Amino acid sequence: MTSEARSTWRFPKEFWAANFTELFERMAYYACLIYLVIYLTREVGFDDSEAGTIAALFAFFSWFIPAFMGALADKWGFRFALAMAYTFLTLGYFLLGAIPSKPVAILSLVLIGLGLATVKPVITGTSIRCSDEHNRARAFSLYYLIVNFGAFIGKLLADPVRDTFRDDAAGISGLREVNYYAAGAAFIALIITLVAFRVKHEPGRGKSFGEIASGLFKVLKNGRFMCLIFITAGFWFIQGQLYATMPKYLLRMVSDFAKPGWLANVNPLSVALFVVPVTYLVRKIRPVSSIGIALLIIPFSALSVALTPALVEVGILGETVNLILFSLHPVMLMLVVGIAIQGVAECFLSPRYYEFASKQAPKGEEGLYMGYQFLNVAIAWLAAFFVSGHLLEIWCPSKEVVAAMPPEQAAHAYDHAHYIWFVYALIGVAAFVALIIFRYVTDRMDRKAGVLD
C-alpha cells in the first residue's frame, strides 16, 4: 500500500470528540480575552497598570506551563485530565463574572490558566495518538482549522453578548455576561468530554517534573535557540497588543459602543486569505529570510495606527472616512489596517519559524526543543500586557481618570495617545535589527563550521 493510499481524512471518534471540545474552549478563551483588561479595570477595580500586570502574568502562566501539565495528563490519563481542565475553565470563567472582586479575579485567572495549560497538550497529544506519519499533517491541519474557527466565533459573539445585556442607565456594562458566555462554552466542552471522549490508551508514566525541568535548562543553555526565541518575541509583543492595548484604545478613542471583538477578527481573516499564497511565495527562500520579512512588516502594523493623527491633520483622512457602504472613524480604520498587516506578517513568520526552530535543535532532541517553541509567545505576552498597562495610564487614561482631571488638562488627555503605537513600532524595528545581526553572526559561524555554503 502506498503512502498516498494510506493518507486519509478519517480519524477515530476520540480525535473528533477532543477537537470538538477545543472549538468551544477557544470560543470561551477569546471571548474572555478580548475584554479581559477592560473587565479588570471597569468591573473589578484595578487601574490600567495593575490590570496590565495581572493579564501579563496570566498570559505568561498560560503559555509557559503546558509542558508541565502535559506530564500530569500522561500520568492521569487524557480523559480525566481534559475533564478536570474544563471543570477549572467553567469555574474560572463563572467566578470571574459572578464575583468581580480583586482576590476572586486572581483566583479565577489561576483556574483558567491551569485549564488552558492542560487542554493544549491533551488535544495535541490526542491528535498525535490518533494519527500516523501518513496523515499527521492532516490531523494537525484540522486541529489548526478548528482552533482558528473557535477563536473567530468567540470574538464574533463577544460583542453581541455584551450589547444584549448592556444597560447604561442601570449601570450594567454587559462585561460580566461575556464571562458567563465563556463559562457556558467551557461547560459544553466538559459535557462533550464526559459523554463522547472515550480514550483507548491507558495512562502512562510520562515525564517527571524533574525530567521536564532538566529539559528546560538544556534549552535555556542553547544560546542560538534562545536568541531566536527572544528575537521573535518582538513580533508577538506587537501581535499581543491586539488584546493588551487595542480594546481599551478603541473604546476610549472612538466610542464605548465600538466592537473590539469584531475588529480583532480582522487578524484571522487576513491569515485565512493570505497564508496559502504567502507560503507558496516563500517556499524557496531560507526560513530565516521569511522570518526577517515578517519582522520587517510588523512595525508598520503599529506605525499605521501611530500616524492616524498626522494623516487627519494633512487631510488624507477626515474626521470620518466614508467607504462604499459605511463610514468609519479614522482611528478604527487605521486599527483595521494595522491588524490586517499583523495577519499578513504572521503568514511569513509562523510556518517557517517552526521549521527554523526545529533546525536549531541538536540531532535527536527535536521533540524537546519544539516542546518549548512557545517560549517566545510567553515572554512576549508577559511584556506586552505589562508595558501596555503603563503606557495606557500615561497617554490614554480611562474616562474615569480623565473626568477627575482639571478641565484644561482633560481637554488634552488623549492628544498623545498615538505615542503608544510609536513605542510598539520601535520594538518591532529593534527585533528586525536583532534578526539581521543574528543572521550575520550565525551564518559566519556556520561557514566556519562548513555547514553553510
DSSP state of 294: H
Q: Of the candidates 86, 84, 34, 26, which has an alpha carbon nearest to the alpha carbon of residue 55?
A: 34
For residue 321, the surrounding DSSP H or E stretch is strand 321-322
Domain boundary among 177, 207, 237: 207
In a domain, 136, yes or no: yes
Q: Are residues 156 and 60 in the same domain?
A: yes
For residue 317, the surrounding DSSP H or E stretch is none
Q: Are residues 203 and 342 in the same domain?
A: no
Q: Supply 360's cell numbers.
A: 536549531
Question: Of the spans 262-276, 362-376, 394-408, which averages the highest pLDDT?
Answer: 394-408
Domain boundary among 207, 236, 265: 207
Containing structural domain, residue 113: 10-207
Quick: pLDDT tens for 306-323.
Answer: 999 999 999 999 888 888
In a domain, 5, yes or no: no
Q: Are residues 195 and 245 in the same domain?
A: no
Q: Are residues 174 and 222 in the same domain?
A: no
Any idea which residue has 499564497 for its cell?
277
Q: Supply 448's cell numbers.
A: 566556519
In a domain, 350, yes or no: yes
Q: What are phi and psi of 447, to 5 degrees?
A: -65, -40
Handedness of CA 279, 285, 288, 292 (dihedral sign): negative
Q: Report the CATH number at residue 50.
A: 1.20.1250.20
The rounded distance, in Å, linking the Cα atoms of 73 and 123 is: 11
Question: Of the spans 1-5, 96-100, 226-230, 356-360, which averages the highest pLDDT?
Answer: 96-100
Q: Are residues 151 and 252 in the same domain?
A: no
Q: Are residues 244 and 196 in the same domain?
A: no
Q: Is 210 exposed, middle or buried (0-12, 13-18, 19+ CB in 10 A)?
A: exposed
Quick: pLDDT tens for 105-144.
Answer: 999 999 999 999 999 888 888 887 887 767 776 787 788 7
Reduced to 3 states (helix: H, G, I; strand: E, B; else coil), residue 167 is strand
Q: Are residues 327 and 450 in the same domain?
A: yes
Range list of H helices, 99-245: 102-129, 136-165, 175-196, 209-220, 223-244
What percent of the chain has pLDDT above 90?
64
DSSP state of 320: S
CA angle 288, 294, 296 (to 5 degrees): 100
In a domain, 2, yes or no: no
Q: Are residues 332 and 434 in the same domain?
A: yes
Q: Are residues 184 and 213 in the same domain?
A: no
Domain boundary among 207, 237, 269: 207
Looking at residue 360, what is its pLDDT?
64
In a domain, 447, yes or no: yes
Looking at residue 366, what is its pLDDT?
56
pTM: 0.90
In a domain, 1, yes or no: no
Q: Is 359 exposed, middle or buried (0-12, 13-18, 19+ CB in 10 A)?
A: middle
In a domain, 230, yes or no: yes
Compute the CA torsion angle 335, 340, 345, 347 (nearest 10 deg). 150
Q: Are residues 200 and 281 in the same domain?
A: no
The rounded distance, in Å, linking the Cα atoms of 410 and 48 is: 17
Q: Are residues 34 and 118 in the same domain?
A: yes
Number of domains composing the chain: 2
For the segment 71-99, the average pLDDT, to the nearest whole number, is 93
Q: Are residues 302 and 400 in the same domain?
A: yes
- Whether the Cβ atoms of residue 236 and residue 381 lie closer than 8 Å to each other: yes
In a domain, 15, yes or no: yes
